[in-house]
């Protein structure tokens, strides 16, 4: 359905003639892939308990640093580069692309934490979990359409600030709800609030980011903006998932060690098992793994699992909350700048 809609409106996307150098910056492309890929892969390896986390993160961060140096060097030499570093001279562009990345980090964090909560804690199937998350996606879609059409002369920066405020509010309300609700219906209101915030952001961020860009550079700027958003989404998914599993392992181990029911041998077994493979699992799955265990041991481990999972998911939700609060700070910085009219090329590219 989504692909059909994209194809239907593809004729509204107009090409902007490019007159620059068509050479390919192979080194820049490699450093970019190593940088963003190394950071995300390092977090994923940490999430899975791998031992090469530090090396991968060092490669990622180091490659991003080298990329910045390389792009400046190519610019000074007048040679084609992966992207024009002069784009970042615009404060509007820097604020816009960083806000786009923060929005996607928040979305990625929500998209990993909430489905796991619904499927592993409430034991929903995939369809039930998807329906429970529908208020978030539907409100985001509806508000984006309405705000895009009805914004009029309203300040884009103020709309962005309001979007981050609603997103932070929705996530903040979700966090204390997590250990207390027994149905996805209880999450409808905070999901609607967060979805409305995301919708406001979707309606304005691209226009804001591309508004100061000249016509001949808007395609390049849009590509950089898209890459930042994609990196943010991947980072949010990976980091929130890693925080969730790491905190689950820590909480479960601490509760097991403090238990007066489990024997020292059982405590050691639990700790070693979690160090090797921390996993969020349903109580039904855990009961199947504990078949044959004494009733008191089985009840104790199920109690620990029931208590630890919501706490771990609450900690995972701190990632989208922090991203939304940082975005809100960016929103206040945006409102201190005068609003710009979007360039004609940016409006055509975004379907305006």
What residue spans define the domains of the chain?
20-82, 90-352
Q: Over 21-59, what HEC string results?
A: CCCCCHHHHHHHHHHHHHHHHHHHHHHCCCCCHHHHHHH
Taking the alpha carbons at both ends of the chain, their separation in whole angstroms is 22
Q: What are the counts of helices (DSSP H) followed by strands (DSSP E) for the chain?
A: 13, 0
DSSP 117: I
Element (H, E) at 330: helix 295-335
Q: What's the confidence (pLDDT) of residue 352?
A: 46
In contact, 170 and 197? CB cutoff 8 Å: yes
Q: For residues 243 and 322, what is the distance between their CA atoms, to the nearest angstrom?
A: 13
pLDDT (mean) for 22-35: 79
Q: Among residues 6, 11, 5, 69, which one has the least CA distance to residue 35?
A: 69
pTM over 0.85, yes/no: no
DSSP string across 273-318:
HHHH------HHHHHHHTTTS-HHHHHHHHHHHHHHHHHHHHHHHH
pLDDT band at 329 (very low <50, low <70, confident <90, very high): very high
The two tokens of residue 243 are 């925080």
Q: Please write the tens of the pLDDT for every residue from 217-265.
A: 788 888 888 888 888 998 998 889 888 888 888 888 888 888 888 888 8
State the average pLDDT for the chain: 82
Identify the architecture of domain 90-352 in CATH. Up-down Bundle (1.20)
Query: pLDDT tens digit string along 42-96?
Result: 777 766 555 677 788 888 888 888 888 888 888 888 877 777 787 888 898 999 9
Pick from 15-29, 75-89, 169-183 the range whose average pLDDT is largest.
169-183
């Amino acid at each position: 359905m989504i692909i059909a809609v994209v194809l239907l409106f593809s004729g509204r996307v107009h090409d902007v003639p490019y007159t620059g150098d068509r050479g390919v910056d192979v080194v820049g492309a490699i450093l970019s892939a190593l940088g963003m890929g190394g950071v995300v892969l390092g977090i994923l390896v940490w999430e899975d308990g791998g031992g090469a986390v530090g090396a991968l993160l060092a490669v990622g961060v180091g490659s991003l640093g080298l990329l910045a140096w390389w792009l400046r060097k190519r610019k000074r030499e007048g040679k084609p580069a992966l992207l024009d570093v002069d784009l970042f001279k615009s404060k509007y562009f820097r604020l816009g692309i960083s806000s786009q990345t923060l929005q996607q980090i928040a979305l990625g964090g929500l998209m990993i934490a909430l489905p796991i909560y619904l499927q592993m804690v409430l034991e929903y199937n995939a369809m039930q979990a998807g329906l429970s998350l529908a208020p978030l996606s539907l409100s985001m879609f509806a508000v984006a359409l309405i705000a895009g059409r009805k914004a009029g002369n309203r300040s884009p920066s103020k709309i962005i600030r309001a979007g981050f405020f609603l997103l932070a509010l929705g996530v903040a309300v979700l966090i204390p709800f997590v250990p207390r609700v027994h149905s996805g219906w209880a999450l409808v209101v905070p999901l609607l609030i967060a979805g409305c915030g995301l919708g406001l952001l979707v309606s304005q961020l691209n226009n804001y980011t591309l508004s100061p860009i000249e016509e001949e550079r808007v395609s390049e700027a849009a590509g950089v903006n898209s890459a930042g958003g994609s990196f943010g989404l991947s980072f949010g998914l990976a980091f929130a998932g890693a925080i969730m599993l790491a905190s689950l392992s820590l909480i479960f181990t601490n509760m097991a060690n403090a238990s007066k029911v489990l024997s020292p041998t059982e405590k050691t077994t639990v700790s070693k098992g979690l160090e090797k493979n921390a996993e969020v699992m349903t109580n039904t799955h855990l009961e199947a793994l504990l078949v044959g265990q004494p009733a008191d041991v089985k009840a104790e481990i199920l109690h620990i699992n029931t208590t630890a999972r919501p706490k771990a998911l609450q900690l995972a939700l701190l990632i989208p909350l922090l991203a939304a609060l940082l975005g809100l700070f960016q929103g206040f910085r945006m409102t201190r700048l005068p609003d710009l009219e979007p360039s004609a090329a940016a409006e055509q590219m975004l379907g305006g």
